[in-house]
Amino acid sequence: MDVKRLMLVALVAGLPMFSPPVIAHHGSAAYDLSKVTTMKGTVTDFQFINPHVEIYFDVTSPAGDVQKWVAEGVSVGSMARGGWTRNTLKVGDQITIEGHSARNGSRAMILNKIVLSDGRTLTTERADDYAN
Give the Cα separation of 52 and 26 in Å (integer): 11
pLDDT band, very low/low/confident/very high, at 23 (cuts 50, 70, 90): very low
Q: Does position 112 have pLDDT exceeding 70, yes or no?
A: yes
Q: What's the confidence (pLDDT) of residue 68?
A: 97
Q: What is the pTM of this model?
A: 0.74
Q: What's the confidence (pLDDT) of residue 127?
A: 44
Instruction: Give me the mean pLDDT over the 51-76 stretch.
Output: 94
The CA-atom distances, in angstroms, between 54 and each of 8, 25, 126 are 40, 15, 14
Contacts of 123 (CB under 8 A, 6+ apart): 82, 112, 113
Q: What's the confidence (pLDDT) of residue 22?
A: 42
pLDDT band, very low/low/confident/very high, at 82 (cuts 50, 70, 90): confident
Q: What's the confidence (pLDDT) of residue 66?
A: 96
Instruction: Give me the mean pLDDT over the 92-111 stretch.
Output: 95
| Architecture of the CATH domain 27-123 | Beta Barrel (2.40)
